[in-house]
Amino acid sequence: MKVLKFGGTSVGTASRIKKVAGLAAGAGRNLVVLSAMSGTTNTLEEIAGYLYNRNADGAKDTIARLESKYLRTISELYSTEESRRQCTEYVQAIFEGLTALTRELFGPVQEKMVLAQGELLSSRMMELYLREQGVDVLLLPALDFMKLDAQGEPDQDYIRSHLLPMLDAKADLYLTQGYICRNAHDEVDNLQRGGSDYTASLAGAAIGAEEIQIWTDIDGMHDNDPRVVDNTRAVRHLHFDEAAELAYFGAKILHPTCIQPAKYANIPVRLLSTMAPSAPGTLIDNTPDSGTIKAVAAKDNIAVIKIKSSRMLLAHGFLRKVFEIFESYRTSIDMICTSEVGVSMSIDDTRYLNEIVHHLKKYGTVSVDLDMCLICVVGDMDWENVGFESRVMDAMKEIPVRMVGYGGSNYNISFLVKEEDKKRALQALSAQLFA
């Protein structure tokens, strides 16, 4: 059995729902995980915002707008009156429930309930559509098996012991909601924004799936994604660790949380496109491709902070003091280079840059470079291989490089350059590594 996850845009309109239903129904007895229709979770967040602010009118307006979108989709989706009626009843009950919240006290528990409605809606719509098409589909409520423990982490034993028996029931196809779950207090909760990939990965690991398929509307990994250079050769295979390096550069590749469960359960993940359903996509698993450089990715809006101090020389505990400052502002450091007398660190979240710099000045001379770009070359960079570093460095010979990161993992070399040099750097790397 495979797990097939379809994202929000893949179920974003009636015609897309039909297309996904066709793809899912033709692929065998699998478990399908659905996101909410695109835009829905954002709108639900907006509704929750109004409810927090006790703006009942704002909430009601937004609820009505969202409801009419669903009613429109229903009128386009179904061909029988009976399915239309059943779906309309379900949708209206959900929106009545949302409206009822305008009359109650609103807090975090209610907010999570609101956010969960999108996946409940899309999965019920899909269930009824598949039924109409003659598919014997079984909707498995994610709230009955997807569970967080007291630390807020997925409870893998619970998930396995509750999901597996559900698959004993006879059906052509199983369907469930992504993103939504219950927490340790049994309240409705979620796996954070974009969490449907995580559901797919956790469910795939729990049932020992043959494969986890993440379907998107992007045509291949490189197209439509300006952050990754097109080397004209689509990446067909990645190691999980290579995917993890690339995940930082955008969830379009694979949501970062999705990697871990699949990697440890040794279940391959395949990225596929609904635009080209018969294309092989990108396979991610635990097999390394020795000696191959796979991809180059870039991320803008990076700031680099350098702290130089003679106190660092032969001292211990200096880095801890520096890191504690970043930690206290919940700012994560992405790249770091140190010498005996100075440390440079890159961050992409610059909200607390001024505060961080202010505190760092206690320990040394601080300087900041803004508008930098992090470029990452991903592939088999095992240190015992010879020649890779020099090939990559050679490509960068005309470009001013602020920092180089190598040896942090076996799968990556990173460079920090000025944003204005990004294009040139990407072209040079592409020409050198993939020509």
Distance CA 173, CA 1 (A): 10
Q: Which residues of 244-256 are buried (b: 16+ CB within 10 A; e: fewer)?
A: bbbbbbeebbbbb
DSSP state of 266: T
Nearer to ligand ASP, 140 or 200 (CB): 200
Task: State the residues that interact with Mg ion by CB under 5 A.
Answer: 7-8, 35
Within 13 A of 369's CA, how many CA atoms are on the CB side?
18
Looking at beta carbons only, is 197 or 242 nearer to ligand ASP? Answer: 197
Residue placing its CB nearer to ligand ASP in the complex, 195 or 281: 195
Residues 162-201 contacting ligand ASP, CB under 6 A:
178-179, 193-196
Residues 272-331 that bind ligand ASP (CB under 6 A): none
8 touches ligand ASP (CB under 6 A): yes
- Which listed option, Mg ion, ligand ASP, none, makes contact with residue 261 (CB within 5 to 8 Å by class)? none
Name which of 146 and 305 has its Cβ closer to ligand ASP: 146
Binding-site partner at residue 193 among Mg ion, ligand ASP, none, CB < 5 to 8 Å by type: ligand ASP
Q: Which does 298 bind (CB under 5 to 8 A by kind): Mg ion, ligand ASP, none?
A: none
82, 128 contact by CB (below 8 A): no
Residue 382 beta carbon to ligand ASP: minimum distance, rounded to whole angstroms: 34
Structure tokens at 52: 């927090």
Question: By CB under 6 A, what part of segment 339-368 binds ligand ASP?
Answer: none
Least distance to Mg ion from the beta carbon of 70, Å? Answer: 18
Q: Using CB positions, name the residue nearest to ligand ASP.
A: 196
C-beta of 199: minimal distance to Mg ion in Å?
A: 11
Site for ligand ASP (CB under 6 A): which residue of 3, 23, 32, 36?
Answer: 36
DSSP letters spanning 390-431:
HHHHHHTTTS--SEEEESSSTTEEEEEEEGGGHHHHHHHHHH
Q: Which x/- pattern over 114-133 shows residues binding ligand ASP (rule: CB under 6 A)?
A: ----x---------------
Distance between start and end Cα atoms, the chain: 39
CB nearer Mg ion, residue 146 or residue 307: 146
Residue 412 phi, psi (nearest 5): -155, 145
Q: Which helix (H) or strand (E) holds 239?
A: strand 237-239
Structure tokens at 270: 């395949």
Q: Which of 6, 1, 408 lies closest to 206 in space, CA to CA?
A: 1
Q: Pick what 268 binds: ligand ASP, Mg ion, none; C-beta below 5 to 8 Å, kind-dependent.
A: none
1 and 203 Cβ atoms separated by less than 8 Å: no
Length of the chain equals 435
Contacts to ligand ASP by CB under 6 A: 7-8, 35-36, 41, 118, 178-179, 193-196
